[in-house]
Structures are given as C-alpha cells and as structure tokens.
Amino acid sequence: MASSFAHHIILGEVWVNILVSFADTIAEQSSLESEAKVVLESGWWNDHSNDTSQRCKWPGISCNPAGSITKIDLSGSQDGGNIPPGIGDPYALECIGLSSCDLSGELHPPLGNLTLLKFLDLSNNYINDHIPSDLGHLTNLQTLYLVDNQTKGSIPSEIGLLSNLVILDLDNNVLVGSIPSALGQLTNMETLSLDDNQLEGSIP
C-alpha cells in the first residue's frame, strides 16, 4: 500500500513537471509571437516578412540562443516612420540603435517594459513627443541618446531612478522647465549633456 502511494506521488510530481514545462513553452512561444508582431508592424523588414521564424537573421537584429530579440540596430537606415507602439514587447531587448532613421511621432509608454535595456539611441530623428516618465523603469539602462530631435516638455524626475546611467545626452531639443534635482542621484553618470534647450537652473 505504501509503495502504491509513493508511486502515485512520483507520478504526480512527473505530471506537475510536465505541466510546468508546457506552461513555460507556451509563455515562451507567446513572447516570441509578440516579438514577431512588433517587427512586422514596424514595416522596417517588409522585404523579409514572409517568414518571421527567420527574423534573427534579418538586418539589424540579434537574438539570444532561445530566439528572443536582444538587439535592434538600424542606425543610419533612414527608413522613416514611427516607433512601433509595441516596441516594449520583446522583453529581452538590451540594445536599441535607431539614430538617423528619419523617425517621427511619439515615445510610447511600452518602452518602459524593456527592463533589461542597457543602450537606447534615438538621436538625430524627428521625435516630437515628451520624454515618458515610464523610462524610469529602465533601471539597467546605461546609455540614453535623444540628441537632435524635437523632444518637448520637461525632463521627468523619474530619470533620476536610472541608477546605472552613465551617458545622458538630450542636446538640441525643445525641452523646457527646471533641470530636475533628481539627476543628482545618478552617481554613475560620466556624461550629461543638456545644451541647446530652454531649460532653467544648473546641472545638480
């Protein structure tokens, strides 16, 4: 009787492990499908969109061994268009390089979902949105370039939450208001550039 009971326990553990593995697989597939949707909606890879399973081989895309996108770098491509609203869906992204791509429009809040992001370069475009406070969620971010855009409004104090930030360049925009004292919390900062804006006060 005891042996039969132990047998049932072992079988139960096996099924639990199978179900957990299955759930992880479904979650992984869902994540990869979200990534495929984002890259398609961007319109930047229309010439390659017939087979999204090959997206890791598309120009400017790098993936990890699991097939998740870790890097998008199309700098200088001048493909134009807007930043895709779903750009925050590939949660494994560590690097986004979209400088000199003729981008316009908004910086969508889902960018704040990219908690693994270390490098974000959107410089030399036509982005005319406010800097979203959600960027304060990017606690692994080390480099942020928004230089040479039309970014408006104030610098959100949430930028002070980016404790790993080393470079922050917001030159040549239309930013207004006071420079937030929260920037003084960025103890790892090596380069802070806010020139050619309409900001008041001094750098903390």
Confidence of residue 153 (pLDDT cuts 50, 70, 90): very high
**H or E stretch at 15:** helix 2-42
Decide if 61 contacts 72 (C-beta within 8 A): yes
Residue pLDDT, tens place only, 107-122:
876 788 889 999 999 9
Dihedral sign, CA of 187, 188, 193, 197?
Answer: negative
Whole-model pTM? 0.82
Q: What is the CATH number of the domain that holds 46?
A: 3.80.10.10
pLDDT for 56: 87
Decide if 40 contacts 52 (C-beta within 8 A): yes
φ, ψ at 17 (rounded to 5°): -65, -40
Q: Does residue 51 surpass a pLDDT of 90?
A: no
- Domain with 98, as residue range(s), is 2-200
Dihedral sign, CA of 169, 172, 176, 178?
Answer: positive
Question: Tokens 């960027």 — which residue?
Answer: 135
Count CA atoms within 13 Å of residue 38 on its CB side: 22
Task: Provide the b/e sequence for 138-160 (b: ≥16 CB within 10 Å).
Answer: bebbbbbbbbbbebbeebbebbb
- Copy the structure tokens of residue 183: 């920037």
β-bridge partners, 178: 200
pLDDT for 89: 67
- Of the ranges 80-89, 163-172, 187-196, which one carries the lowest mean pLDDT score? 80-89
Q: How many Å apart are CA 36 and CA 133, to the nearest integer?
A: 27
Dihedral sign, CA of 116, 103, 165, 186?
Answer: negative
The residue among 81 and 113 whose pLDDT is bigger is: 113
Confidence of residue 94 (pLDDT cuts 50, 70, 90): very high
Q: Does residue 10 surpass a pLDDT of 50?
A: no
- Give the total number of structural domains in the chain: 1
φ, ψ at 159 (rounded to 5°): -60, -30
